[in-house]
Amino acid sequence: MRFLYFLAFLGFTSVMYSQDFNYAITDIPEELKDNADAVVRLQETLIEIPDHKTLYREEKRVVTVLNSKGLRHINAAEFYDDDTKILSLQAIILDAFGNEVEKIKKGDFRDVSVVDGFSLYSSSRVRYLDFTPTTGFPFTVIFTSKVKTVSTGFIPPFRLYNNFRTSIEKTIYNINVAPGLGLRHKIIDDNNDLEIQSQADLISISAINKPSVSQETNGLPIHEVVPRVLFSLEKFHLAGVDGSAKNWKEFGTWMNNSLLDGMTTLEDDTVSEIQSLVSDAKTDEEKARIIYDYVQRKTRYISVQIGIGGWKPTPAQEVHDLGYGDCKGLVNYTKALLEVVGVSSFYTVVYAGDEKRSLEKDFASLQGSHVILAIPKDDDYTWLECTSQTIPFGFLGDFTDDRDVLVIKPEGGFIVHTPKYINDDNLQEIDGIYTIDVDGKLSASLGISSYGTQYDSRSGLLELEQKKQKRYYYNFFNNINNLKIDSINFKNDRDNVNLQEKLVFTSKNYASKVGDDFTLTLNAFNRIRRMPKKEIKRTGSFRIDRGYKDVDVITINTPKEFKTQYLPEPVLLNSEFGKYVLNVEVLNETSLSYRRELNIKSGTFSKEDYKAYRQFLQTVAKYDNSKILLEKK
């Protein structure tokens, strides 16, 4: 029975990959064109694993590109290396009526190194379609490929959508695995969008006529809203070694013993150099800080996603000699240096990005896009981002915060949650003074102090040349016309994860002339800059990922020839999304105190709440624009 089903499966797939249909634009249902930049007419994937060391993947992807934004949805590319070979590769271009315009063979695809110029990754390459449409839009691409790899540790998952604003006319995913390898899968499909059939080691997934998913303001990330199916084998082969795992503990043990063991060995000269660095250090944390600073100064990061260039890290001594590495190599290198000085640490796998994404903690498999380092501290961890030359010790920022990660220990793998930076943790304080003269000119001096993710987003200024720093501030203070920046100074307190910015600048005609008088917008430095888009037909919930707190305390000096009229009343706004406080007081005849506080709370909210959220920010923006009259005496 199993053999007969297998023959039927092969017969189905051979027909599936041989048939072509008319792909004229007129054949696309109208509902699939709505809110779409591209329509996937057909996505067929066949995965065959005849043994634990062989995986074949065959793809046929037909995409009709409706406009220029749809070009990024073609996805006509294949990666390859020493373990993965491209057996076939082809693209056919059709015009809007479905007529063939051009055929592109394997040799005509661009063939480039994943990381050009770095010997560690010389075998990691990609062939991709470099195509500029000559017939205009729409047009269709039929992309077919077949790949063979000796690594079965990672099985490409099924995802109904890869991007927002892409609709699906038909998608089919079939996986066929030899008996005894222990195929496991996890279905994530809350709305039952998928048709799934399975029998023993055969699984077939399909869906038809699925409209595009719109990317809404503050909407949930694509990986949370689209149906998907994950796969894994209990017996697999990866990085030249066999593996076996049913859960995260077993997976972590295999990874430690098969991928990481022996990678931290260092030569005697290197060991002596590192030990001398920490000879005066008295605590493990002091040693770790010295080592981290050394790594940041000595090495540079080469951006290569985990899985590209292999899953095994580069040996520590090789990174030491070359002075560069990807995330795997730099984490392993830092781990090796810490071992030399008696500080234990653990290689940790994570999904990285400012959109928070956790590993599937109930489904052990090869997941993640990045690695970081965990140093045990009491019942918690100190976390190190080893790819940055500037990020402070123990600070992750919004790249890997608040998500489930896999900590690899000799005794196994353990799911742990990284630190959160939410609400008041992300503090920005502005303390300043500005003076308005009799011509309406503004002269300002202010300090900006940032913590948490506000530190994370602003600390990049330190790496810019002064011309680009000024360009940033011209944009930051875009409400001030005729801005002239006189000086910029920074103090980066890495120990306390605090950035201090000091600025001095002027602006001619900041106050607006009205006859002999002036109107003055009090908030010169920190107004609401972005208003959420008005969305009448909101379809999904929205999220404020981290929240923040801004506190501004400003002294405003006015010319003695004028008197202040129409001082704003105190404001206090409270909502489920945050709080806003505004208070303006008279200090003396020519001075005012302006205090503003804005707290935005993190959280996930229903689509029905979106209008109220937008109204809250509109009200904040209105009060941010509060004015006074400077009346000529």
What is the reported pLDDT for 132?
A: 86
Spatial neighbors of 322 by CB under 8 A, at least 6 apart, are: 119, 120
Element (H, E) at 2: helix 2-16
In 32-76 the beta strands, taken as DSSP E runs, fall at: 38-51, 54-65
Q: How many CB atoms lie within 10 A of CB 172?
A: 20
| Cβ atoms of residues 92 and 104 within 8 Å | yes
What is the reported pLDDT for 380?
A: 95
For residue 117, what pLDDT band results from cuts at 50, 70 and 90?
very low
pLDDT digits (tens, 9 = 90+) for 170-181: 999 999 999 999
| Cβ atoms of residues 79 and 110 within 8 Å | no
CA 428 to mean position of chain CA atoms? 23
Q: Is 83 helix (H, G, I), strand (E, B) or coil?
A: coil
Q: At what angle do helices 268-277 and 284-298 cross, to 10 degrees?
A: 120
What is the reported pLDDT for 585?
A: 97
Which tokens sit at 340?
């030399």
Which tokens sit at 544?
């404020």
User: What Rg do the C-alpha atoms of the chain give, in angstroms?
Assistant: 29
What is the reported pLDDT for 536?
A: 87
* Widest distance between CA atoms in the chain: 100
Residue 294 dihedral angles phi and psi, to the nearest 5°: -65, -45
Mean pLDDT, residues 502-526 taken together:
97
What is the reported pLDDT for 306?
A: 55
What is the reported pLDDT for 113?
A: 85
| Cβ atoms of residues 629 and 521 within 8 Å | no
Residue for token pair 């590993």? 359
| Cβ atoms of residues 408 and 464 within 8 Å | no
High-pLDDT (> 70) share of the chain, %: 94
pLDDT digits (tens, 9 = 90+) for 207-234: 999 999 999 999 999 999 999 999 999 9
For the whole model, what pTM was predicted?
A: 0.92
| Cβ atoms of residues 206 and 78 within 8 Å | no
Q: Which domains can be identified in the chain, with CATH numbers?
A: 2-238 (2.60.40.3140), 246-417 (3.10.620.30), 423-632 (2.60.120.1130)
Mean pLDDT, residues 48-76 taken together:
96
Quote the CA–CA distance of 174 and 194 in Å, as a whole number: 13
Quote the CA–CA distance of 268 and 270 in Å, as a whole number: 5
| Cβ atoms of residues 121 and 322 within 8 Å | no
Quote the CA–CA distance of 216 and 519 in Å, as a whole number: 38
